[in-house]
Amino acid sequence: MSKMPLYRTLILSGAVLGVLAFTGCGSQDQHETLKVQQMNRWNMTRIGILYQLAEQQYKVGDYDKCTDTLKDAFALKANFAPIYILAARVQIEKGNLETASDDLNTAIRIDANDPEPYYLLGVLYQRWQKPEVACDYYNQAWSRKADEARYMLAMVEMEISLGRLDEAQNTLESKLVYFEQSAALRVALARIATLKNDFATASKCYREAVTLMPEDKNLRLSFANSLFCARQFAEASAILEDLKKSAAPADKADILMILGQSYMGGHRFQDARNCFQEIIRDKPEDTLAYLNLGKACVQTGDLGIAAAAARKVLRNDPENVQGMIITALVQQKQKKWNDAGATLAKAAKFAPGDATVLCMQGLNAQETGNRDQANAFFEKALQADPKDAWAAELLGKSKPAAMTPAKSDDAEPVGVAPQTAGSAAAMARLEVSASK
């Protein structure tokens, strides 16, 4: 053996012995720690793989396999919050809400900064009909991730259900610029405006939402409803006519109903009649369609069809006051004052404080020459509703010294013949009540 190889061999041997001497038995603890760290890293890798598999199984709806995969992940005993969150989702789908709650609270103990378990706890408490608690959890989720619109909207939804409309509105308006592409935020604002009977604002918000999501048919239908309530009948009709063209059979009747009511509001009575008749062909027992058909036919002068529609309603529901009002309107148009008086007297038994019935009774009394009785009916109508503009106008015409409130949209122009004014005003009231 040459000297050089021997020399190198001795150096290498010395180095190895030196390392062994340096580490010795005293490094056993470090070695064990290293093994534990390596095992933990391996377990986390395995959990990550199992989690991805379980997540795919959850997405395709295979909850049993997902549960089995999660059990394997739990067996590794690693603190990994996402597996508990996913387990909670599975339990929610299965209806095991208490188990889901336990899993979510475990996830929070592992990672208190993750917003998702707080959000899902909000979902659970919303299902348990505890909106205050649900709202608090949604708020906690949003506070941990302020750029997540889903958390904010869930909190706002609870505030709306709790009647905190101003708080919900302020929250949404403060984030309009930040979430400028969010249609859902504008829909929520529209809902709040609707609950406040501010239909003009609701229409504005729905218009913005439709601009962001023009293909969403349900959203466009909500927009049309808001326009109808804002008395923008022409624009509502245009949207509904377009929706009708591609409506699914299950949705067609609802679209036709509000389209017909929009036509009524725009004085397109023949078009309205056609809508209601189309509904009845498919749904021959639809009471609201018959009532609306009766209204439209009173306006078009098809009194026979109007009377038949009212009879259909009253056969199925003998106490339906709107059916009686339509019957009385037909009778008044036909100058059958005694018959109209009897019909209205019957209606008054079922709705003694109904201002429309009282006003029509007053008009009937006028036509039969009993002015004092007419004034008494108009006064009763005002007592029932002191803000009723139609009753005040009728009383003012019949008894000029009477004080009359400011005229509203329901009031008819001065100078219209009493029976004509009665028909139009009664129709307007029926239109509002039928659309609710």
- pLDDT, tens digit, for every residue of 282-333? 999 999 999 999 999 999 999 999 999 999 999 999 999 999 999 999 999 9
Instruction: Label each residue of 280-339 as H, E or C.
Output: HHHCCCCHHHHHHHHHHHHHHCCHHHHHHHHHHHHHHCCCCHHHHHHHHHHHHHCCCHHH
- For residue 426, tell me if it sits in a domain: yes
Residue 319 lies in a domain: no
* H or E stretch covering 399: none
pLDDT number for residue 406: 45
Mean of the pLDDT values across residues 104-123?
Answer: 96
Predicted local confidence at residue 228, as pLDDT: 96
Q: Is the pLDDT of residue 434 over 50?
A: no
Count of structural domains, the chain: 1
pLDDT of residue 343 exceeding 70, the answer is: yes
The pLDDT value recorded for residue 398 is 83
Cα 22 to its chain centre, rounded Å, is 74
Task: Report CA 129 to chain centroid distance, whole Å.
Answer: 17
Kindly state whether residue 356 falls inside one of the protein's structural domains: yes
Nearest CA to 80 out of 58, 119, 52 is that of 52
Residue whose token pair is 């205050």: 132
The answer to whether residue 75 sits within a structural domain is no
Does residue 198 carry a pLDDT above 60? yes
Band of pLDDT at residue 20, cut at 50, 70 and 90: very low
Torsion angle defined by CA atoms of residues 365, 369, 370 and 374, in that order, rounded to the nearest 10 degrees: 40
Does residue 52 carry a pLDDT above 80? Answer: yes
Residues with Cβ within 8 Å of residue 364, at least 6 apart in sequence: 328, 332, 337, 340, 341, 344
Is 215 a domain residue? no
Residue 366 lies in a domain: yes
Residues 120 and 115: their CA atoms lie apart, in Å, by 9
Round to whole Å and give the CA distance between 433 and 383. 20
Q: Which of 367, 280, 287, 382 is nearest to 331 (CA)?
A: 367
pLDDT at 234 over 90: yes
Single out the residue of 254, 271, 251 nearest to residue 263, CA to CA: 271
Task: Provide the residue range defining the domain that includes 419.
Answer: 334-436
Do the beta carbons of residue 226 and residue 198 sit within 8 Å?
no
* Pair 291, 430: CB distance under 8 Å: yes
In a domain, 21, yes or no: no
Q: Does residue 267 lie in a domain region?
A: no
Which CATH number is 392's domain given? 1.25.40.10
171 has a pLDDT exceeding 90: yes
Q: What is the pTM (predicted TM-score) of this model?
A: 0.76
| DSSP 8-state secondary structure symbol assigned to residue 436 | -
The stretch 219-223 carries a mean pLDDT of 96
Distance CA 205, CA 371 (A): 49
Q: Check pLDDT > 80 for residue 402.
A: no
